[in-house]
Amino acid sequence: MKQDLSLAHSFCFLDEKLAQQSINPLSLNPQKTLITSFAELGNLIAETTTDVQLITTVRDTLESIVNAQLQNFPENIFWDFDFMVSSMLKQAITADEGATCFLKSFEEKMVSLTEMFGIKTEIRFRYVHDFIYGFDWARWVKKEPRTRAQVEPFSLIFLDNLLLRGQEILQRINLNQLTHYKLCDGGFRNPFGFSREPEDEYRLLTYLARKQIVPVAAWNWNAYPVWNKPFQEIRQHSALKLNICF
């Protein structure tokens, strides 16, 4: 019982960490304002597995990912973790190399991605939204659906692809080959043709979520990712409708 309480407290600690950083943990879920708490996610994890070592490793992995996001994306707006945690756990349970090995690799790749695309490198993206809510994944699958349609948004295969893409972006920025990746006034890069200032990002994503035009409903533990819609075109058109295009 003490061990169970200790594990529960560890997940609660992540909620406390967000509060200490003055993060308002908004959810993109149209039915609620705030995210599923980490305490609640801990309960969902415990309903999926009773393996104490696995639960502990998942908790530690999640803490590393949250810390990386706080350090590298301090202005992030939406903080849903439900589907990412669900996917991570299910992949760990079925991993051929074993759960611990999988979670170690998953943690390393997730933290590396967060550091690569955040404020501490030349890429300097402002939010993790395109990654967490599947816009990057849907665009990637659409290029080669025959071989990629069954690849999950948080699979190691896709994480590796993003790491390669990040390296390419960094190289091209250093060579001044990405003119559409210019720094905005706030010091962040925005490769899109619409504003991603916080108030505009909030309006656009909540609009898309209400219309059910988000590739990954990251607020849903049992989400079913969708890639075969023209998400990029819809987002651009929606931005025009909301009058936030340049």
- At residue 5 the predicted structure's pLDDT band, cuts being 50, 70 and 90, is low
The model scores a pTM over 0.85:
yes
pLDDT at 246 over 80: yes
Bigger pLDDT: 177 vs 57: 57
Which amino acid, one-letter code, is at 144? E
pLDDT of residue 245: 94
At which residue do the structure tokens 């980490």 appear? Answer: 38
pLDDT at 232 over 60: yes
Helices 38-48 and 52-72, axial angle in degrees (round to 10)? 150
For the chain, the domains span: 2-241
Tell me how far apart the alpha carbons of residues 8 and 38 are, in angstroms, rounded to a whole number: 9
pLDDT of residue 26: 98
Which two structure tokens, joined as six digits, stand for 146? 């025959």
10 Å CB burial of residue 215 (0-12, 13-18, 19+) is buried
Q: Whole-number mean pLDDT of the chain?
A: 94
pLDDT of residue 177: 81
Which two structure tokens, joined as six digits, stand for 73? 């994306």
